Amino acid sequence: MNKRDGKTVVADATEVTSAGIPAALFQHTVNQADIAISITDTQGNILYVNPAFTRVTGYGAEEAIGRNESMLSDKITPPALYQSLWQKITSGESWSGRLINRRRDSSRYLAEVNISPVVNAAGEVHNYLGMHRDVTAMHRLECQVKNQKTLLESVIDAAPVVIALLDVDDRVVLDNHEYKKLQADLDMAEPAPMLMSAIRADLEVEAVAGRRSSGYEFIDLEVRIDPPGGKPPRWFSCSGSRVREDDGEADAFFAGGGRDYLLLVAMEITRLRTQQERVRFADLQAAMAEEDRASALRESLSAATFRLEGPVNMMASVVGMLARRSGETDPMVLALSDAIGVGQQALTELRAMIPAETREPDGSANVNELLRDALDLATGRLLAAGVRVTWKPQAMLPALHGQPNKLRSLFKALVDNAIEAMSGRGWRERELSVITRARLGSVEVVIEDSGPGIPSALQLKVFEPFYSTKRRHLGTGLAAAQQVAADHGGTIEIDPVKAAGCRLRVVLPVKRRP
């Protein structure tokens, strides 16, 4: 038997095939092949079957020969399939497909069949060669895999948590219904890379702090998302586990290999966190009120000592001059020296009364959360002054390493200044806009008000301690805020080109330089 132009040509048993193999050897090979082989006439009447045919169908050669291949037909196979099979083979082409066959004992099996026309030397079809194998077990396996896939997909889809399978470049290769809902809620194409960058920043902080070894897997990492349109923040507890897919390509059969994926599971914990936030905010309000009292006292006492130091120093130099001129025993010199002594004593006592500042330990700080706190703390004043607030946070910001309370006070001071600037009698434009953005290696906050603004000549001076544009105001807010920004390696600047109102830009590096 030879293949010629894709068709099979039968050789005489005494012949030698074109490949130089004796026809008898060829026949032996067909006999021993592990695939059911049959040869029929042009009507499908069986002329030859090999032992594998008997093993698969249960029909011995003597029973099969002379009968039609249709003895294998189960009649469940749609007739149209047989029609197309015959159409193909009678037109000289080979046909492959799956048929339901019935064995001699009436049991069914799924056969993967290939039928090729056998042509003579003149190119005419005079026989058909059928080859088939029982693929029932393989089909069962395929179905099991398919069913498992469907089951898995429906479980994943129905799960009340966000699930996404990510490749090494954070591209989503599989997601579920909750993930799609998150996409729609956040109005963004792919929230997964954003979640992953926040998780990685957190993992880095944890690794630096020695609380976690840096690795690919993580569990219960909390991520905060600030949705667009000023909607309340949402929190997710994220876990990630590595999933390895083996390479199914032939090249990898011996060499192995495959691809790594990360299964990201994010469970929304907003309800729980909102309750915790309420408690935290109440504590925060109390702590801030206490801190406000302490810092007001600190400011007043610092200002008082600052103002007293000038005249006391001046009197000391006058007394020095008088003593040189009229001697140290001069009654005037003695009286003034006494007065200076009392003044210096009072200064020492005042300094001792200044409440000490508590050193806050470093921690992880989310700028969106701190700004939201600052705005929430100012809610009463904002409402009273009729200020319209536009809050545009970047959905997710990298966490800063610093002192959260100090940073919150910084933002609160800027928000308070803005409200005060717009609260002047007769001032109608009362709009406050707060925007956050992630920049390369830093976080930028822009706080803009529609108040009277700061004249360009004063834009540097307002950062000096005890300078204020307002009467009865000590003027340490901006100086203190700038100090906090500087302590965190950042800056505060007033936008010099702003035509109306005041626009302040705070830039804080994600990693504080030593």
Contact residues toward ligand FAD (CB under 6 A) are: 38, 40, 43-44, 68-70, 72-73, 75, 77, 79, 82-83, 86, 90, 99, 101, 111, 113, 115, 128, 130, 132
The two three-digit tokens of residue 69, written as one number: 């291949």
Task: Specify the residue, 130 or 393, whose C-beta has the smaller distance to ligand FAD.
Answer: 130
Tell me the closest approach of the beta carbon of residue 43 to ligand FAD, in angstroms: 4
Tell me the closest approach of the beta carbon of residue 139 to ligand FAD, in angstroms: 15
Tell me the closest approach of the beta carbon of residue 101 to ligand FAD, in angstroms: 5
Distance CA 82, CA 93 (A): 14
Task: Specify the residue, 119 or 333, whose C-beta has the smaller distance to ligand FAD.
Answer: 119
Tell me the closest approach of the beta carbon of residue 37 to ligand FAD, in angstroms: 9
Per DSSP, the chain holds a count of helices (H) and strands (E) of 14, 19
Q: In 409-458, at which residue ranges do the beta strands (DSSP E only) sit?
A: 431-439, 442-449
* Residue 436: Cβ within 10 Å count: 23
Task: Specify the residue, 130 or 233, whose C-beta has the smaller distance to ligand FAD.
Answer: 130
Task: Specify the residue, 50 or 403, whose C-beta has the smaller distance to ligand FAD.
Answer: 50
Task: Specify the residue, 91 or 147, whose C-beta has the smaller distance to ligand FAD.
Answer: 91
Task: Specify the residue, 134 or 291, whose C-beta has the smaller distance to ligand FAD.
Answer: 134
Tell me the closest approach of the beta carbon of residue 60 to ligand FAD, in angstroms: 16
Distance CA 245, CA 173 (A): 12
Distance CA 38, CA 130 (A): 5
Tell me the closest approach of the beta carbon of residue 242 to ligand FAD, in angstroms: 46
Tell me the closest approach of the beta carbon of residue 78 to ligand FAD, in angstroms: 10
Distance CA 330, CA 325 (A): 10
Task: Specify the residue, 102 or 406, whose C-beta has the smaller distance to ligand FAD.
Answer: 102
Task: Specify the residue, 89 or 266, whose C-beta has the smaller distance to ligand FAD.
Answer: 89
3-state secondary structure of 276: helix
Tell me the closest approach of the beta carbon of residue 32 to ligand FAD, in angstroms: 20
Report the amino acid identity of residue 59: Y
- Tell me the C-alpha to C-alpha distance, in Å, between residue 347 and each of 18, 50, 312: 118, 115, 9
Residue 207's H or E segment, with its range, is helix 191-208
Name 503's bridge partners. 448
Distance CA 414, CA 420 (A): 10
User: 31-35 long-range CB contacts below 8 Å, 24 or more apart?
Assistant: 35/131, 35/132, 35/133
